[in-house]
Amino acid sequence: MRSERANSKTNDTEQELEELILVEKKTKSLVLVGNPNVGKSLIFNYLSGMYAEVSNFPGTTVSITSANYKDYQLYDTPGIYGVSSFNDEERVARDIILDGDVILNVVNALNLERDLFLTLQLIDMGKRVSVILNMMDEVKKKKLRIDTKKLSEILGVNIYETSAIKKIGFEKLDEAIKSAKVGRQDKPIQPAVGGLKEIYEVVKVKSHSLLILEGDKELTKQYLLNYHNDDLREEIYINRRNRVNEIVDLTESEDTKQGIFFSKLGRLCLNPVSGIPILILVLALIYFFVGDLISQRLVNYTENTIGKNYFEYWTKTFISKYTSVDITAKILNDNNEVIDQKTFHFPNGIDSDHIIYQSFKNFSVNRNNEKSFHFYHPIPSFFFGEFGVITMTLTYLIFLLLPLVIAFYFSLALLEDSGYLPRLAALVDKSFTKIGLNGRAIIPIILGFGCVTMATITTRILGTEREKSIATAILQFTIPCSAQLAVIAVLLSGAGLKAILIYSFVILLVMILTSTILNKIIPGQSSPLLLDLPPMRIPQLNNVFKKTYYRTIGFMKEATPWFFVGAAGIGLMQLTGILEIWHEVLKPFTVQLLQLPKEAATAFVMGMIRRDFGAAGLFELDLTAEQIVIALITITLFVPCIASFVIMLKERGWKQGLIVWSGTWIFAFLIGGLVSHIII
Amino acid sequence: MQFTLDKATRGQSLTIDLLPSGVIKSQLIRFGIMEGEKVTCLDRLVGGTVILQKKRLEIALGCDLAKSIMVTDEK
């Protein structure tokens, strides 16, 4: 495979960004700039031989990916509609563009109307630009005609036609970089002349002066200028917009009217009469794929058969040759009820006593059974016992989580690539405004079902601090991430339909209540929805697989150390007796309030490290269907994992982060207890 | 006839008469939604979210935003 994980540099603060630029300023910088969803990342991947994520919905890349390309430092930027500072993505992109030596402006040929605004702005800024006119294959398919030569003349820069998905035209990218030049700038509008001159005398940089003239507050502040004029920006924008319209009229012609299948499908997704059934269908498909096929059938096999019966059994048997052990074999009937049970003692390891070992084998052979190993010594017990750092962790990670996480990321990638998500955002907008968000917030929330940590970063796409706060609280409090969801799906589907309904109802209710209350108490107003809807398309399987692969690898890399740390921590707590004390301390809550066995407290310790790890801890307990529901509700609402907690502190600050974190403690137990006393 | 955009119906051709002021206006202008411009209402969802079409560009506008935009029906 050509790609490798990109040396992705996520820049959380402007300061880090500046440092990054300073360090890398020695080489020239080459910046890929374009509207969302135009193929920048595909070009980045091609040039760098590395991997940057490709999506079919606006507003997911809030970070910069960078790589070396020949003599250049190459940057991939978030998709933007213009250079300004209306939101976080624009701010991040703006800084890189201002410092860029060469700009490759990627333009969607199907959407010149929209994309050329940015192109003209880049040219007006006096940057060296080449235009990559992408999606030319689609243009031909749709019987559109674009007069590239004329367009190039008008803009005063070179234009290169490509189809990024098929890598057509990529051989000319090098030439595009070399031939980048300053284009034909707008005949300055009258009030701007004086203003621009005045600013330029102080600032000395054309691109900076133009943005200041267009009312960029941050840049203005940077130069200690006292200049702000919203009306002038509007005037410049209207003028630029009119130029775009003229250029499009001159260079583009259409042979047929569109109205083919996909634009119809796109419309059907929006219409409530068909949109809601489509939503239900999409959710049902995901449920059958992730919730049933993978989490029930496949995981049942991988976890119990491969993981427990083979991997753990073989490992434990191997260890038992060298150390003292008691092995308990439980014979189960078809309903997994214990019908017979026997414990075999091997004080000198299983090899030392062939007669007992044979009778143990005879007892369990050809019968549905479960074996548990009890090692006498603490060290084998620590690594291979009940919470064995090696046995339990590997089974959870590889045989339980891995298949589920792959399945989830795969479904998510399909959804992202199809262009469905922005339509979903439009569909849910009205309901979301009632809870202080706009439809855009569906994107971090859906991503949250993948990984809450990642989703918390994505809240940056929301327009106001208020919305970011509300969305972060919802994410950290009520949204189970894919790994936790996986474990929940396995436990819940075992507990029956009623359990699923109660769980979903309670979590949804808590989500609505939380956001409604926050909407009431946080001052201010939320921003309105203004969203560009990319065309629906058949997901590019190649891209879907790649994305699933890289995200899964990323997830496993992040999760694995935490699982070992967590298992080691629990193992130590068990060995030293602290676990027992913790059980007693939490007993009033677990036993009286939640009506769970006191061992459930272990799950809460584990849950602080990783949410899924916490839910996985419930596997070890023998719970009734009602208890499963209560335990899962509590663990879902309970504190977010360490990683997302840290990100939350970073994104939302100490005060807010700690309020949300401690709030989850109180409300998880409170709501869990309430439900417990209602249903038990 | 002049009305606010949230009252538009599916398929209507509209002329934009007045946009709300501030940063949102600049964002609308970038998308080509300017005073005097002609657009088509592709759809109006329950609750008033409006989908506008201009050539191949489709843009969703939330209900509150739609309420603050004045338009005239072509007819």
Question: What pLDDT digit, counting tens, does each position of A587-606 carry?
Answer: 888 888 989 988 888 888 77
Q: Answer whether B18 touches A (CB < 8 Å).
A: no
Q: Do A426 and B51 touch (CB under 8 A)?
A: yes
Contacts of A427 in chain B (CB under 8 A): 45, 49
Query: Span A161-190, mean pLDDT?
Result: 87
Three-class secondary structure assignment of B46-73? CCCCEEEEECCEEEEECHHHHHCCEEEE
Cβ atoms of A470 and A522 closer than 8 Å: yes
Determine the residue among B6, B46, B54, B58 to mutate to test chain A binding: the one whose Cβ has the most chain A Cβ atoms within 10 Å.
B58
Residue of B nearest to A534 (CA): B58
Cβ atoms of A344 and A326 closer than 8 Å: yes
Closest CA of chain B from A566, distance in Å: 45
Q: Do B27 and A81 touch (CB under 8 A)?
A: yes
More confident residue, A388 or A633: A633
Determine the residue among A234, A236, A525 to mutate to test chain B binding: the one whose Cβ has the most chain B Cβ atoms within 10 Å.
A234
Q: What is the mean pLDDT of chain A?
A: 83
To which H or E segment does residue A191 belong? helix A190-203
**A421 band by pLDDT with thresholds 50, 70 and 90:** confident
Phi-psi category of residue A204: left, alpha or beta, with phi > 0 → left and psi -120 to 50 → alpha: left
Considering CB atoms only, which of B24, B34, B46 is closest to A241? B34
Q: Do A237 and B30 touch (CB under 8 A)?
A: yes
Q: Do B60 and A267 touch (CB under 8 A)?
A: no
Question: What pLDDT digit, counting tens, does each position of A122-154 carry?
Answer: 999 999 999 999 999 888 888 889 999 999 999
Distance from C-alpha of A209 to C-alpha of A200, rounded to nearest angstrom: 5
Cβ atoms of B70 and B2 closer than 8 Å: yes
Query: Span A444-451, mean pLDDT?
Result: 82
pLDDT of residue B41: 92
Query: Span A523-542, mean pLDDT?
Result: 85
More confident residue, A502 or A400: A502
Query: Beta partners for A72?
Result: A28, A69
pLDDT of residue A643: 73
Q: Do B24 and A429 touch (CB under 8 A)?
A: no
Residue of B nearest to A525 (CA): B64
pLDDT of residue B59: 92
- Least confident stretch, A60-69, A488-497, A500-509, A616-625: A60-69
Which 8-state DSSP code applies to residue A5? B
Contacts of A431 in chain B (CB under 8 A): 47
B36-75 residues touching A, CB cutoff 8 A = 42-43, 45-49, 51, 54-65
Q: Do B22 and A439 touch (CB under 8 A)?
A: no
Distance from C-alpha of A127 to C-alpha of A97, rounded to nearest angstrom: 9
Closest CA of chain A from B52, distance in Å: 10
- Least confident stretch, A113-117, A163-167, A401-405, B25-29: A401-405
Contacts of A425 in chain B (CB under 8 A): 60
pLDDT of residue A62: 53
Contacts of B26 in chain A (CB under 8 A): 84, 86, 230, 233-234, 237
pLDDT of residue A1: 33
pLDDT of residue A63: 61
Q: Do B60 and A245 touch (CB under 8 A)?
A: no
Domains along the sequence of chain B with CATH = 2-73 (2.30.30.90)
Cβ atoms of A480 and A611 closer than 8 Å: yes
pLDDT of residue A196: 76
Contacts of A108 in chain B (CB under 8 A): none
Considering CB atoms only, which of A272, A425, A530 is closest to B27? A530
Q: Do A530 and B51 touch (CB under 8 A)?
A: no
pLDDT of residue A194: 63
pLDDT of residue A40: 87
Q: Answer whether B3 touches A (CB < 8 Å).
A: no
Query: Span A86-110, mean pLDDT?
Result: 90
pLDDT of residue A677: 92
Q: Do B32 and A81 touch (CB under 8 A)?
A: no
Determine the residue among B16, B18, B24, B29 to mutate to test chain A binding: the one whose Cβ has the most chain A Cβ atoms within 10 Å.
B29
More confident residue, A177 or A23: A177
Considering CB atoms only, which of B24, B43, B57 is closest to A111? B57
pLDDT of residue A11: 41
Q: Do A530 and B31 touch (CB under 8 A)?
A: yes
**B19 band by pLDDT with thresholds 50, 70 and 90:** very high
Query: Span A498-511, mean pLDDT?
Result: 92
Cβ atoms of A91 and A152 closer than 8 Å: no
pLDDT for residue A301 is more than 50:
yes
Q: Do B47 and A429 touch (CB under 8 A)?
A: yes
Contacts of B63 in chain A (CB under 8 A): 429-430, 433
pLDDT of residue A117: 95
Distance from C-alpha of A286 to C-alpha of A293, rounded to nearest angstrom: 10
**A26 band by pLDDT with thresholds 50, 70 and 90:** low
Q: Which residues of A touch B (CB under 8 A)?
A: 81-82, 84, 86, 110-111, 113-114, 117, 230, 233-234, 237-238, 241, 244-245, 248, 258, 266-267, 270-272, 275, 422, 425-427, 429-431, 433, 438-439, 527-533, 535
Considering CB atoms only, which of B32, B45, B60 is closest to A113? B32
Q: Do B56 and A113 touch (CB under 8 A)?
A: yes
Q: Do A530 and B22 touch (CB under 8 A)?
A: no
Residue of B nearest to A214 (CA): B26
Query: Span A264-281, mean pLDDT?
Result: 78
Domains along the sequence of chain A with CATH = 8-186 (3.40.50.300), 295-388 (no CATH), 396-679 (no CATH)
To which H or E segment does residue B17 belong? strand B13-18
Q: Do B34 and A431 touch (CB under 8 A)?
A: no
Query: Under DSSP, is residue A157 helix (H, G, I), strand (E, B) or coil?
Result: coil
To which H or E segment does residue A223 belong? none
pLDDT of residue B56: 80
Checking ipTM against 0.85, whether it exceeds it is: yes
Spell out a b/e string for A458-470, using b for 16 or more CB atoms within 10 Å of the CB, else e. bbbbbbbebbbbb
- Least confident stretch, A158-167, A295-304, A527-536: A295-304
Query: Span A11-34, mean pLDDT?
Result: 67
Residue of B nearest to A139 (CA): B56
pLDDT of residue A79: 87
**B31 band by pLDDT with thresholds 50, 70 and 90:** very high
pLDDT of residue A193: 57
* Six token digits for residue A285: 């498909």
Considering CB atoms only, which of B28, B32, B47 is closest to A430? B47
pLDDT of residue A244: 93
More confident residue, A622 or A19: A622
* A&B contacts, CB < 8 Å: 114
Measured N-to-C along each axis, helices A625-637 and A482-495 cross at an angle, to the nearest 10 degrees, of 160
Question: What pLDDT digit, counting tens, does each position of A562-578 carry?
Answer: 778 878 887 888 788 88
Pairing state between β A72-76 and A28-34: parallel
**A29 band by pLDDT with thresholds 50, 70 and 90:** very high
pLDDT for residue A520 is more than 80:
yes
Q: Do B58 and A430 touch (CB under 8 A)?
A: no
Q: Which residues contact A16 (CB under 8 A, 6 or more apart)?
A: none
Q: Is A210 exposed, middle or buried (0-12, 13-18, 19+ CB in 10 A)?
A: buried
More confident residue, A10 or A458: A458
pLDDT for residue A648 is more than 60:
yes
pLDDT of residue A6: 40
Closest CA of chain A from B35, distance in Å: 9
